[in-house]
């Protein structure tokens, strides 16, 4: 069995670029020779299959209901990445019966294709579903834009993960910045607050610069990695993928996909209101 690294992409505020980053990071990792699966944990409209131009008939809700196995709903995307289409109603995970849970675990363990990376595109904010997904990931990357509301909300989700879910390790992906230096400064500012109030050393990955080609690609339902491989955005995603590849090996990585679903099901997130 291959070692699988599971990477969650999250944000406090919506619309900051999680799906764009998840989809293009997945493609960049695949282009670098990795076997990659993208799990769409986003229940909103701007979802991963749209970003990748994939049409699907079934989604993760059909796995939960037991109508389909994971292999039956997984589709192949650009650069041959595996895509698990998202489903609404995943927030009800906690209400599922024992038989359904066993069926889901079974379905994940039956997916035999070897994988190096599972990228989880989480929804914005800190709902029960988001925390359930993130707690099943080895690494969580927080997407932030250099705007007051995005920074405040990024700090908000970081604070919840650290103080309520006992996270000791999180990294930042500044998005939509004018240049790398601005992204590094944004990280420095947020890190100073995290150090002071949460005693957390916030990691830094790489910044994605603002690039019109991302919007143009989105209009064509393509990842910018495919639409404009020579663009500055595509270059940034390749650099981000290089950073992700240097993440140290994680405990439990040899458990494969089954590890992900078991952790998801065993986790009891302590979500507090407000």
Q: Give the binding site for ligand ATP (CB under 6 A).
A: 11, 14-20, 42, 44, 46, 124, 175-176, 208, 210-211, 214-215, 218, 233
Q: Which of 11, 19, 34, 139 binds Mg ion (CB under 5 A)?
A: 19
Name the residue nearer to Mg ion (CB basis): 142 or 200: 142
What does 176 bind: Mg ion, ligand ATP, none (CB cut-off 5 to 8 Å by kind)? Answer: ligand ATP
Min separation Cβ 5 and Mg ion, Å: 21
What does 175 bind: ligand ATP, Mg ion, none (CB cut-off 5 to 8 Å by kind)? Answer: ligand ATP
Is 46 an interacting residue with respect to Mg ion (CB under 5 A)? Answer: yes
Q: What is the CA angle 130-67-112, rounded to 5?
A: 75
Q: Dihedral angle at the C-alpha atoms of 227, 80, 61, 139, nearest 10 degrees? A: -90
Distance CA 245, CA 239 (A): 10
What does 26 bind: ligand ATP, Mg ion, none (CB cut-off 5 to 8 Å by kind)? Answer: none
Name the residue nearer to ligand ATP (CB basis): 104 or 218: 218
CA distances from 95 to 64, 89, 92 (A): 11, 11, 5
Min separation Cβ 76 and ligand ATP, Å: 21
For CA atoms 247, 163, 184, 119, the dihedral sign is: positive
**β pairing state of 82-84 and 117-122:** unpaired
Is 20 an interacting residue with respect to Mg ion (CB under 5 A)? Answer: no
Closest CA to 114 of 224, 4, 249, 226: 4
Count CA atoms within 13 Å of residue 57 on its CB side.
Answer: 4
Name the residue nearer to ligand ATP (CB basis): 4 or 222: 222
Name the residue nearer to ligand ATP (CB basis): 20 or 49: 20
Min separation Cβ 222 and Mg ion, Å: 16
CA distances from 193 to 139, 152, 169, 200, 202 (A): 21, 11, 15, 9, 10
- Provide the binding-site residues for Mg ion, judged by CB under 5 A: 18-19, 42, 46
């Amino acid at each position: 069995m291959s070692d699988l690294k599971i990477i969650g992409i999250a944000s406090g505020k919506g619309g900051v670029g999680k799906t764009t980053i998840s989809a293009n990071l997945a493609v960049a990792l695949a282009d670098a020779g990795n076997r990659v699966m993208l799990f769409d944990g986003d229940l909103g409209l701007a979802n991963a299959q749209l970003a990748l131009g994939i049409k699907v008939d079934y989604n993760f809700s059909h796995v939960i209901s037991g109508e389909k196995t994971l292999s039956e709903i997984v589709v192949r995307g650009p650069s041959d990445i595996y895509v698990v289409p998202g489903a609404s109603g995943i927030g009800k995970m906690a209400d599922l019966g024992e038989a359904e849970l066993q069926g889901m675990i079974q379905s994940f363990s039956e997916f035999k294709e070897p994988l190096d990376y599972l990228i989880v595109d989480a929804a914005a904010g800190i709902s029960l579903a988001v925390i359930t997904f993130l707690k099943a990931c080895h690494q969580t990357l927080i997407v932030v834009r250099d705007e007051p509301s995005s920074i405040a909300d990024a700090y908000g989700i970081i604070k919840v993960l650290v103080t309520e879910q006992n996270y000791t390790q999180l990294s930042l992906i500044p998005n939509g910045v004018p240049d790398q230096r601005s992204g590094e400064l944004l990280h420095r500012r947020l890190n100073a607050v995290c150090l002071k109030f949460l005693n957390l050393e916030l990691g830094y990955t790489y910044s994605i610069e603002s690039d019109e080609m991302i919007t143009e690609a989105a209009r064509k339902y393509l990842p910018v990695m495919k639409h404009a491989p020579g663009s500055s955005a595509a270059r940034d995603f390749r650099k981000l993928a290089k950073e992700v590849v240097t993440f140290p090996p994680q405990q439990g990585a040899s458990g494969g996909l089954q590890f992900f679903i078991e952790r998801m099901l065993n986790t009891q997130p302590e979500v507090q209101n407000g």
